[in-house]
Amino acid sequence: MDGRLIKGSIMILLLMLVFVSAACVSAESNDTTVLTLSKSGITINYPSNWGYSDALSSYSIMAISKADSVDSFGVGQVNINIEKKPVEGDFATFVNSTYEPMKYNNDYDLVSSGSTTIAGNDALEYIYTSNENGVQKQHKAVWFEKGGQAYVLLYSAPLDKFESNLYVFDYIVSDIQIT
């Protein structure tokens, strides 16, 4: 009987989280609904004022952008890109080597790094800023390993739009399904 009580409590908590998440999404716009995108074993839910977009990386498996930020090339300036790369050697070393060149490039500034979890997987998180061709952006990346592949969820936005759109990335990270 205690097991059923615990399961019931967990279900109620999960339902409350779904309702709170839905309320956060609909608070931005009364016309916003939640859409689903699934590719390469990754499923994400995202608000309808974001849409599928092109990514500049050849490792990208999916990318979404805030609809009003997509440029004439189809690339969103406020975007979330999910990439998949084969892990070469130790996962942490592989990921850290991605950020090592930032120490020597004045166009990048590593703000923070640390450990986190995503969908029950150990993950690494990096926050950094960039200045490419006079455009200053902030980025948040969450890396995890699955099946010998390194996955990264990368959120990028101009500095003045980063914080106001971060909740979408955080929601995707908290709700992602990995098979």
pLDDT reported for residue 179: 85
Judgement on whether residues 152 and 171 belong to the same structural domain of the protein:
yes
Domain that holds residue 21: 1-32
55 and 75 Cβ atoms separated by less than 8 Å = yes
- The predicted model scores a pTM of 0.79
- Tell me the pLDDT tens digit for each residue of 63-105: 999 999 888 876 788 999 999 999 989 999 999 998 988 889 9
- Asked if residue 17 has pLDDT above 90, the reply is no
d(Cα 90, Cα 97) in Å, to the nearest integer?
Answer: 11
Which helix (DSSP H) or strand (DSSP E) does residue 48 occupy? none
Structural domains in the chain (count)? 2
